[in-house]
Amino acid sequence: MDAPRKHQVSLRGASAKEITRDDLLQKVSRERELRNYAKRAAAAALFIQRVWRRFKVMKMVSLQLQQEWETMVNNYSGVKTAVWISDNLLRPFLFFMISSSTKHQKIHRKKIDSVKICFTILLESLKSSDSKQNYCFLAIGTTEERRIWSYQVQQLTSLGFLILSEFSECNSGAEDITIVTSLAMRVLVMLTDLKGWKGITDDNRLDADLAVKDLIQFLGSSKSGSYVSIARYISALDNYSSKSRIITQADENFFITTSAITLAVRPFHLTNFNVEGPGMLDVNHAVKQYIVYLLTIPWLVQHLPPVLLPALKHKSILFPCFQNLLILKENVLMEMSELDKSENVVSFKAIPPVGWALANIICLSRGNENDSIDSGSFNQGLNYALYVHVVIILAESLLACLDNIGWVRKRKALQTDVESSRQPVDLVRHEGEATNESLIMSFMDQFRPVCQQWHLTNLLASINRDASNKAETLLSNSVESLGKLDLCDIALFYSNLIRIFSVLSPIRGSLPVLNMLSFTPGFLVKLWGVLEVSFISGDKHISDNHKSGNVKQKALEKMQKQVSKDGTNKWVSVLHKFTGKSQTATGDTDPTGNHSEPSRVNEDSSDIWDVEPMRHGPQGIPKDMFSLLHLFCATYSHLLLVLDDIEFYEKQVPFKLEQQRRIASMLNTLVYNGLSHVSSHHNGFLMDCAVRCLHLMYERDCRHPFCPPDLWLSPARKSRPPIAVAARTHEILSANLRFDDSSASLSVGSVITMTPHVFPFEERVEMFREFIKMDKASRKMAGEISEPGSRAVEIVVRRGHIVEDGFRQLNSLGPRLKSSIHVSFVSESGLLEAGLDYGGLSKEFLTDISKAAFSPEYGLFTQTSTSDRLLIPTASARYLDNGFQMIEFLGRVVVTEESFGKRHVVELKSGGKDISVTNENKMQYIHAMADYKLNQQILPFSNAFYRGLTDLVSPSWLKLFNANEFNQLLSGGNYDIDVDDLKNNTRYTGGYNEGSRTIKIFWEVLLPHVIKGFEPEERCMLLKFVTSCSRAPLLGFKYLQPPFTIHKVACDVPLWATIGGQDVERLPSASTCYNTLKLPTYKRSGTLRTKLLYAISSNAGFELS
């Protein structure tokens, strides 16, 4: 085959590039498209020209016709019969008005006079009793007259609402448009009211009634534009209470408003809605338009005069609205969402239209506006079941809208900013937030009825009514269930409202409704009764072991009374903020010893507290119980904040302690499994409330136990991950977590953060140590840690000025205080002490500086007046030099006021120094004083300490422990040591062994049951002498590194001296770097005891060698 040629010769004799078949087809297709486009463009141009010519001709003809019409009307002196009005007045008038006016075009100023003339003549005709002069009689005339009359009144109706719409946009002081609008409304009201027709007899009443119904049906259709215009008019009104106009103007505006409302409700009376019994549901277009356009008007109730509100609140209006919303909810909600996109009708501000519909329905369902908060009521005849179901539908739609527009994320971001900021809430908001906040608060004011107790009690009372009551069986089979009300419906009602309040105003939004729910007698008990039957009673484990649980709890409470109090909690008050857990009084620690000794989880007992229906988290909860559980958690967590211990433990209200244990077990199982299994973000609101309620119950149990320890460990008994895996997962997620990454937070890592108590205390300590190892490894990779001894901070500290010297030399290091510190002590005699710091001296320094700085004598902290003698920052610390910086430094090291003879006046409120405390304001004073003493006064010091502590220790690590556990983590065991544990974990060097005589004497002296043995305080002093810390390691001496060591110091004593009663004179010494006691070879216990006590009491170390 010949090779392909690059060029070919065309028939025309010229050389051309070869075109493939595909290229040729594309070229032909493009040319065809160009020709078609040219044809369409030419046709469009002709159409535009035709329309434009028509418009010009119509405009010219209408202007000419208007002039002729005005001349004719002004010069006419005959009788204005109905026929003359139809043929000579309205026919040309409607032509030149409608032909040159549209719904989106304002009425020309020149035509206002024509409108005024026409409606004045028409109004006079409607008032006439003469059948020949009354225009309405054409509606019962000949067929042609009826047809023409029907067309003309429909056009007049559309024109009247067009005038009303324009009136809402113009200046309210324009007198001409006000008069014209008033005339138009009067005409429409008379045309649509058969009772206003003059001269109608029984013979023609039926025909007249049909004509009026046809007109009202048109009025309720979208063609008339009635509801759009009324909505624009009402939304443009000022709040009724703020109006300040002249009397005549106010009268006209009031009449226009009254007429607009009258016309809006006319279609509702077209069909006889039987609100008392069953019947077919007449779902007409007018009711839907009323809902979509009028009920979505922002602040509808506030825009209208109070005298008009009963018309909108009547059951004949609300009942059809409820029916439409329940049956056509998808259609109605879709039209509402379209309104939000266009905003051609009204401006909805920042709230979606469905939100305003929800608020307006709640306001309209309330009875007399003058009722007080305690004596409020619903409208007479209101169907509670339909009302509840409608509110549920609208609330769920509003929540979906807010979620779609990202409102939830924005408001959570604001809440995070507020919580993390030290500034007042108002100063944290970004630019423009104040305006939005004002709008939101104004919107939420519309929900005041649902925050009042009468609202809830009336709904609860309706549940107990006879199910066969007609008011509950008024719907057809398709929606029969919506006519009934149960506790789950009410729970869903309030659950949705709480979510709305929380989304719109996370800081304070849901407080009013939660206050009401929490303190409504018996409501929480009702909720728990249903939940207990659904989840607890059906759980075989808990129900079968209920009695055994009671026996164990009685033993727990008996042991609780025998627990003696000690001073281990002196730091608890200060550390309360950091752990995120409640303050735990020492006397209320776990009586079984779980906090101080390794706990052993009893698998059989812990299994009874694992609530089986909750083992799948929120996904396993039935739909009807979901909202009820959310409402219970939200309400009870709010009540727990103010429920004191007398009510909780002694009076046992609202629940018995056994019920409290069941609630705790249910929440514990739910939260653990909800966090362990990745779930939908739609379950987040339930999990948030459940976690909050669980934390409050756990904090109370930490302070004053009412639950067995196995209850908190139960959910994770079989499924908790290994310690190393859990710790590393937690750290990875903490590093990578993003604000909007909700799925990442639902994992093992969040289990550790949210519910660390499901892990035994020993395992959490191991996690903490794992965190420290990982932190050291990461700092080593970053070059912050090198070989031992290098890059260490060298400091010299005088023993008499340990706090001042430590602060001066170390405060500037900040987070770098994690690095190695080498300490050299200067004795009280001014001489540099012997010895090198390989870790022991730095431990001693950190221990001593903490002891000295936290001492009340130093002036930074003071002790409470309670028997616990807890430490809290003193208010006078702010007047010390570097007071705040000192407290911040201590955070790194450990992890009307009167001061100095001067009196400082602090105003509890603005101008408070000039306000005397009286019987009327004494409660305000008490609350203000308590807030100042417990919150404001201590906050700066707590923040300073917190900043210092979190420079070295991650806050997420601290949240693993409650306050008492953290105190143990920081300070070690109790104020005594377990001699047997120390003996079993002691190493001997230099020639000593367990059988050595001196070693046997040593242990005899230490034992507590020996007559001349060491006291607990002396044993702790010995431990500090050897290790620089007076507390035992948290989980026993096996965790002490390096191990406790006793090294032999050989001392030769002449035989005659021993026989004469002499013993070794040398004092014992210590190497705290290696936890080593250098013990001479004493022969007598008395000598060993005396020498050892002298050494440990001398506040010295190496120089004793």
Q: Which residues are catalytic?
A: 1073
Do residues 837 and 1073 lie in contact, with contact meaning Cβ atoms separated by under 8 Å?
yes
- Nearest CA to 80 among 132, 120, 127? 132
What residues contact 582, with CB distance under 8 A and at least 6 apart? 576, 699, 700, 702, 703, 962, 963
Number of C-alpha atoms within 13 angstroms, CB side, residue 1078?
18
DSSP 1079: E
Q: Report residue 770 CA to chain centroid gap.
A: 33
Backbone angles phi, psi at 38, to 5 degrees: -65, -40
Dist. CA 107–CA 105, nearest whole Å? 7
Per the structure block, which two tokens stand in for 452? Answer: 């009042």
- Nearest CA to 722 among 761, 675, 763? 763
Residue with tokens 């206050």: 515
Dist. CA 460–CA 483, nearest whole Å? 15
Per the structure block, which two tokens stand in for 784? Answer: 């912050």
Number of C-alpha atoms within 13 angstroms, CB side, residue 1025?
26
Dist. CA 646–CA 658, nearest whole Å? 16
Q: β-strand 986-989 against 902-904: which pairing, if any?
A: unpaired
The C-alpha angle 377, 381, 383, rounded to 5 degrees, equals 90
Asked if the bond preceding 654 is cis, omega within 30° of 0, the reply is: yes
Burial of 813 (0-12, 13-18, 19+ CB in 10 A): middle
- Nearest CA to 1069 among 1038, 1032, 1037, 1095? 1095
Dist. CA 591–CA 557, nearest whole Å? 9
- Position 237, amino acid: L
Query: What percent of the chain is helix, strand and coil (3-state, nearest 5)?
Result: 65, 5, 30
Dist. CA 265–CA 287, nearest whole Å? 9
Number of C-alpha atoms within 13 angstroms, CB side, residue 313?
21
- Nearest CA to 713 among 762, 747, 679? 762
Residue with tokens 């290790």: 1027
Distances in whole angstroms, Cα of residue 470 to Cα of each of 78, 274, 583, 1056: 61, 12, 56, 115
What residues contact 459, with CB distance under 8 A and at least 6 apart? 384, 388, 485, 490, 493
Distances in whole angstroms, Cα of residue 647 to Cα of each of 590, 653, 657: 21, 6, 11
Do residues 264 and 226 lie in contact, with contact meaning Cβ atoms separated by under 8 Å?
yes
The C-alpha angle 965, 968, 973, rounded to 5 degrees, equals 135
Dist. CA 1032–CA 469, nearest whole Å? 73
What residues contact 291, with CB distance under 8 A and at least 6 apart? 321, 324, 325, 332, 357
Dist. CA 388–CA 169, nearest whole Å? 37
What is the torsion angle, in degrees rounded to the nearest 10, for the CA atoms of residue 813, residue 817, residue 821 and residue 823? 70
138-173 burial, b at 16+ Cβ within 10 Å, e below that, comes to bbbbeeebbebbbebbbbbbbbbbbbbbbbbeeeee
